[in-house]
Structure 1
Amino acid sequence: MNDIAVQTDERAAVLAVIDGVYGAWANNDADALAANFDADASSVTPGWPGAGREAVRARFAAAFAGPWQGSRVVDEPSTVRFLNPDTAIVVGRSAVQLPGKSETEPPVLGTWVIARPSGQWLVHAFHSCAA
């Protein structure tokens, strides 16, 4: 396999983690969403700094039972950069679309650190801020 094919395959695998997060979000499944995060992952979003997979799961369980119930995310990754073969940084723009709404909430910019130190690609850090 040549380097271009490997890079393409790895890029797809990294983006599949983000797709897994947002697919679980669309299903309002906090357990499946959190399964994409490392046990010690950092997650910082406006108004919510969190540490660890369980904190991510608890936050989304509460959100899916309340204001984000039935919501989904529109996501546009813009760059995927590999620091080494097992660590990638993804930067993108996303916005929450609430149920019954045609417009999205104001977009955010997100930075993901996705790594596979033990063979499985997982989110190790996520940060978002207003776009």
Structure 2
Amino acid sequence: MSDRHADDEAAIQAVLDNSYKAWEAGDADGMVADYTADATAIMTGSLRDSRDVIRENMALAFAGPLKGSSTYNKQLSLRFVGGDAAIVVSESGILFAGENEVPDTRKVNATWVFEKRNGQWLIAAYHNSPALTPGQ
């Protein structure tokens, strides 16, 4: 990566770290604080088409099935698309309360799309799909 992107990469990492920390705290508002208002999140069987919808869904999940959970995230790549967009690819998964490892069958490949608006990096889109385990 070129030096001109070093500050941008650090800012993107901070956005991701803040989102992961907010998830661990069960804080839906904090989790979407760095999402654009028109952000989308697509997961198997689900389209969430705004920051507000994402926040509402996460608040319900944190009060129910995701209570006490955290996430596993292994960044696989980060690339810049022009001067104001970036794509992060990660292997991710949900660690439910009491777990310290995500089973391979629950890991996903995730794509994060970032947009730089008014000098700030924000999450514009998120998508994940099940990761294939060897032999699939």
Q: Give the alignment's TM-score, normalised by structure 1.
A: 0.92
The amino acid across from 1:93 in the alignment is E
Q: Which residue of 1 is the match for residue 30 of structure 2?
A: 32
Match of 2:64 among 63, 66, 74: 66
Q: What residue in structure 2 maps to residue 10 of structure 1?
A: 8
CA RMSD of aligned residues (A): 1.4
Unaligned runs of 5+ in 1: none
Structure 2 portions without partners, runs of 5+: 132-136
Please give the alpha-carbon distance, in whole angstroms, between the structure 1 residues aligned to 2:94 and 2:67: 11
Match of 1:21 in 2: 19
Deviation at 1:102, TM superposition (A): 2.9
Q: Give me the whole-angstrom Cα distance separating, in 1, the residues matched to 2:47 and 2:109.
A: 16
| Deviation of the 1:99 alpha carbon | 0.8
Pick from 35, 51, 70 the counterpart of residue 53 of structure 1. 51
CA-CA distance at 1:104 after TM superposition: 1.7
CA distance in 1, matches of 2:101, 2:86: 31
Q: 1:100 aligns with which of 98, 101, 109?
A: 98
Find runs of 4+ consecutive structure 1 residues off by over 3 angstroms: none
Q: Number of aligned pairs?
A: 129
3-state SS, counterpart of residue 40 of structure 2? strand
1:74 deviation in Å?
Answer: 0.8
* CA distance in structure 1 between the partners assigned to 2:79 and 2:15 by the alignment: 15
* CA drift at 1:86: 1.5
Which amino acid is 1:130 matched to?
P
Range moving further from structure 2, 80-89 or 4-13: 4-13
User: Identical aligned pairs, as a percentage?
Assistant: 37
Provide, for residues 67-105 of structure 1, a one-character-per-residue CA deviation record: whole Å limited to 9, x for no partner: 000100010111101001211000110111111123325
Rounded Cα–Cα distance in structure 1 between residues aligned with 2:79 and 2:3: 15
